[in-house]
Structure 1
Amino acid sequence: MNIVSLLPSVTEIVCSLGLRNALVGRSHECDFPEDVLSLPAVTKTSYPEQRSGRETDQTVREIVSSGLSPFEADPDLLRRLEPDIIITQDHCEVCAISIDRLKAETKSYLENADVDLLSVSPSSLQEIMDSITDIGHVLNVPDRAANLVTELSERLNIIRQTVQGEPEKSAVTLEWISPLMTAGNWVPELIEIAGGDDLIGIPGDHSPWIDFDAVRESDPDYLLIMPCGYSIQDTMNEFEALERTDGWVDLKAVREQQVYLLDGSQFFNRPGPRIYDSARILAEIFHPNLFQPLYKGTGWIPAGHSVAVP
Structure 2
Amino acid sequence: MRIVSLLPSATEIICALGAHQGNICTLVGISHSCDYPAEICDLDVLTSTRVPVHETQLVIDQFVRQEMAAGRGLYALDIEKLAELRADVIVTQTLCDVCAVSSGDVYQAVADLPGDCKLVELAPSCLDDVYDDIIRVGDAVYAGSEARQLVMQLRERAEAVSRQQILNGDKVLFLEWLDPPFSGGHWIPDLIDILGGTSCLVKAGQRSGTLSWQAITECDPDIIVVGCCGYSLEESEAALHLLADHAPWLSLRAVREGNVIVGDGNAHFSRAGPRLIDGLEELAANLLAARSTLPGA
**Residue number in structure 1 paired with 2:295:** none
Q: Tell me the distance in 2 between the aligned counterparts of 1:139 and 1:149.
A: 16
Flag structure 1 segments of 5+ consecutive residues without an equivalent.
292-310
Say whether residues 1:26 and 2:27 are aligned partners: no
**Residue number in structure 1 paired with 2:68:** 64
How much has 1:123 moved relative to structure 2? 0.9
Contact 2:19 2:143 in 1 (8 A): no
**Residue number in structure 2 paired with 1:85:** 89
Q: Tell me the distance in 2 between the aligned counterparts of 1:11 and 1:220.
A: 35
Q: Tell me the distance in 2 between the aligned counterparts of 1:281 and 1:29.
A: 23
How much has 1:289 moved relative to structure 2? 7.5
How much has 1:136 moved relative to structure 2? 1.2
Query: Where does 1:264-283 land on structure 2 (aligned, <5 Å)?
Result: 264-283=265-284
1:83-105, CA deviations, whole angstroms, 9 ceiling, x for partnerless residues?
Answer: 1111000000101112212234x
Say whether residues 1:115 and 2:135 are aligned partners: no
1:130-176, CA deviations, whole angstroms, 9 ceiling, x for partnerless residues?
Answer: 11111111112211111111111111001101227x63332111111
Cα–Cα, structure 1 residues 266 and 154, in superposed 2: closer, same or farther, change >3 Å?
Answer: same
How much has 1:250 moved relative to structure 2? 2.1
Query: Where does 1:215-254 land on structure 2 (aligned, <5 Å)?
Result: 215-254=216-255
How much has 1:111 moved relative to structure 2? 4.2
User: What is the one-letter code of the residue matched to 1:240?
Assistant: H
Contact 1:226 1:268 in 2 (8 A): yes
How much has 1:118 moved relative to structure 2? 1.2
User: What is the one-letter code of the residue matched to 2:202?
Assistant: G
Other structure's SS at 1:3 match: strand
Other structure's SS at 2:171 match: strand
Other structure's SS at 1:20 match: coil
Q: Tell me the distance in 1 between the aligned counterparts of 2:71 and 2:10.
A: 26
Q: Tell me the distance in 1 between the aligned counterparts of 2:168 and 2:288.
A: 9
Contact 1:195 1:286 in 2 (8 A): no
Other structure's SS at 1:287 match: helix
When structure 1 is superposed on structure 2, of 41-50 and 83-92 the one drifting more is: 41-50
Q: Tell me the distance in 1 between the aligned counterparts of 2:208 and 2:99.
A: 12
How much has 1:127 moved relative to structure 2? 0.5
**Residue number in structure 2 paired with 1:3:** 3
Say whether residues 1:190 and 2:200 are aligned partners: no
Cα–Cα, structure 1 residues 289 and 227, in superposed 2: closer, same or farther, change >3 Å?
Answer: closer
**Residue number in structure 2 paired with 1:40:** 44
Contact 1:191 1:282 in 2 (8 A): no
Cα–Cα, structure 1 residues 247 and 99, in superposed 2: closer, same or farther, change >3 Å?
Answer: closer
Cα–Cα, structure 1 residues 222 and 289, in superposed 2: closer, same or farther, change >3 Å?
Answer: closer
Q: Tell me the distance in 2 between the aligned counterparts of 1:289 and 1:272.
A: 27
Q: Tell me the distance in 1 between the aligned counterparts of 2:202 and 2:243.
A: 19
**Residue number in structure 2 paired with 1:298:** none
Of 127, 130, 134, 1:128 maps to 130
Of 75, 99, 103, 2:103 maps to 99
**Residue number in structure 1 paired with 2:156:** 154
How much has 1:290 moved relative to structure 2? 8.7
When structure 1 is superposed on structure 2, of 178-187 and 195-204 the one drifting more is: 195-204
Cα–Cα, structure 1 residues 10 and 290, in superposed 2: closer, same or farther, change >3 Å?
Answer: farther
Q: Tell me the distance in 2 between the aligned counterparts of 1:231 and 1:220.
A: 24
User: What is the one-letter code of the residue matched to 2:261?
Assistant: Y
**Residue number in structure 1 paired with 2:77:** 73
How much has 1:220 moved relative to structure 2? 1.3
Q: Tell me the distance in 1 between the aligned counterparts of 2:146 and 2:125.
A: 22
Other structure's SS at 1:87 match: strand
CA-based RMSD: 1.8
With the length of structure 1 as denominator, give the TM-score of the two structures. 0.88
With the length of structure 2 as denominator, give the TM-score of the two structures. 0.91
Other structure's SS at 1:150 match: helix
Flag structure 2 segments of 5+ consecutive residues without an equivalent.
293-297
Runs of 4+ in structure 1 deviating by more than 4 angstroms, as ranges, are: none
**Residue number in structure 2 paired with 1:213:** 214
Q: Tell me the distance in 2 between the aligned counterparts of 1:282 and 1:214.
A: 24
Q: Tell me the distance in 2 between the aligned counterparts of 1:89 and 1:178.
A: 26
Other structure's SS at 1:181 match: strand
Other structure's SS at 1:230 match: coil
1:192-230, CA deviations, whole angstroms, 9 ceiling, x for partnerless residues?
Answer: 112222122210010121111111111112111111111
How much has 1:110 moved relative to structure 2? 2.7
Q: Tell me the distance in 1 between the aligned counterparts of 2:248 and 2:270.
A: 28
Q: Tell me the distance in 2 between the aligned counterparts of 1:216 and 1:60.
A: 26
Percent identity among equivalent residues?
34
